[in-house]
Amino acid sequence: MNIGQAAKASGISGKMIRYYESIGLIASAKRTESGYRIFSEKDVHALRFISRARGLGFSVEQMGNLLALWQDRHRASADVKAVAQAHIEELDLKIKKLQDMRQTLEHLVDHCQGDKRPDCPILSGLAAESVAESVELDVETS
Amino acid sequence: MNIGQAAKASGISGKMIRYYESIGLIASAKRTESGYRIFSEKDVHALRFISRARGLGFSVEQMGNLLALWQDRHRASADVKAVAQAHIEELDLKIKKLQDMRQTLEHLVDHCQGDKRPDCPILSGLAAESVAESVELDVETS
DNA sequence: GTAAAGCTTCCCACTATTGTAAGGTCAAGC
DNA sequence: GCTTGACCTTACAATAGTGGGAAGCTTTAC
């Protein structure tokens, strides 16, 4: 199988397959005499594994660990679970950070008239000593 | 004021101040005869504005728009509100994406014993034709 | 036999930030 | 006046992942 067919079959672009090979995430593919990469079903299977792990937000480094565990028939499921749980915690942190941003911004937006006048609590909020300060000022005067 | 003092006062590293200047986000600072950058209170004010916008997850490009609006005394608050709301939508998309990942992963983790045995629904889930497939298999057999 | 499609490597761009190296400047102490 | 250390300057590299493109070779289809 050529790289293009492996790409279609796995959902990973040819570009990225070459990249993953170059950084050692996957083994170097065999080559034809003329230098074309050859992929087996097993290779595609691994690429699909990677594709799903990426879809769940695992980093390349974490995928390296997961792939090693996947290919180790004597792994303990506890080891896999630990990697997955650590990733859930990372996701939680990111989610919380974004939600905090969202909330602050929403608060500012709620207090903005959004008309033709230039007065804007969003800009005052960004310019204030602290975002809370402007919002509180705003609350006091409303 | 030197760049180091401006950095401390604004919460943006000297490195990043130079970067923001290089990409034109902020105006080029005046220099002493020997080439040191000089920052005024007004400059620091703008840097703090940037610092807060960054904290709310605005991209450099969006900050460019916000700064322009901030410095335009005749802006309409509706324009600012539009930028902010567009950003909230971006945040919502990111949050949703992360939450979806989190949920799928949590589902897999919940079905993993996490002991010394090698059987692991997390790995099967990643290796399956689709993540849902393995989970459903798992549900059927549980 | 020629043209098109697909492969190869290599280099660049992106976001935003940090690190490092080589060198100039300023202020304090002696 | 000179040394020292802290601070400044520019320039280049690296990070993570992905996409884009060029130049050139191979394979396939007609």
**Total number of residues shown for chain B:** 142
pLDDT at B128 (0 to 100): 79
Torsion A15-A21-A27-A33 (CA) sign: positive
CA-nearest residue to B103 within chain A is A88
Residue range A92-139, pLDDT digits in tens = 999 999 999 999 999 999 999 999 999 999 999 999 865 555 555 555
Of B43, B44, B3, give the one whose Cα is nearest residue B27.
B43
Contact B6, B47 (CB under 8 A): yes
**Distance (Å) from the alpha carbon of A37 to chain B's nearest alpha carbon:** 23
Q: Which residues does chain B have within 8 Å of residue A66's beta carbon, measured at their own beta carbons? A: 123, 126
Collect all residues with Cβ–Cβ distance below 8 Å to A86 and sequence separation of at least 6. none
| Chain C bases closer than 7 angstroms to a protein Cβ | 6-9, 15-20, 24-26
Tokens of A57: 């937000």
Contact B77, A119 (CB under 8 A): yes
Measured CA A8 to C1' D26 distance, in angstroms:
21
Measured CA B35 to C1' D8 distance, in angstroms:
8
pLDDT at A120 (0 to 100): 94
Alpha helices of chain A — where are they, by DSSP H?
3-10, 14-22, 41-55, 60-71, 77-110, 121-127, 131-141
- Domains of chain B in sequence order: 1-56 (1.10.1660.10)
Contact A108, B126 (CB under 8 A): no
Contact B123, B113 (CB under 8 A): no
pLDDT at A105 (0 to 100): 95
Q: Do B131 and A85 touch (CB under 8 A)?
A: no
CA-nearest residue to A127 within chain B is B49
pLDDT at B107 (0 to 100): 94
pLDDT at B142 (0 to 100): 42
Residue range B13-50, pLDDT digits in tens = 999 999 999 999 999 999 999 999 999 999 999 999 99
Q: Which residues of chain B carry a pLDDT beneath 70? A: 129-142
| Chain D bases closer than 7 angstroms to a protein Cβ | 7-10, 16-20, 25-27
Using CB atoms, pick whichever of B48, B69, B109 lies closest to residue A88. B109
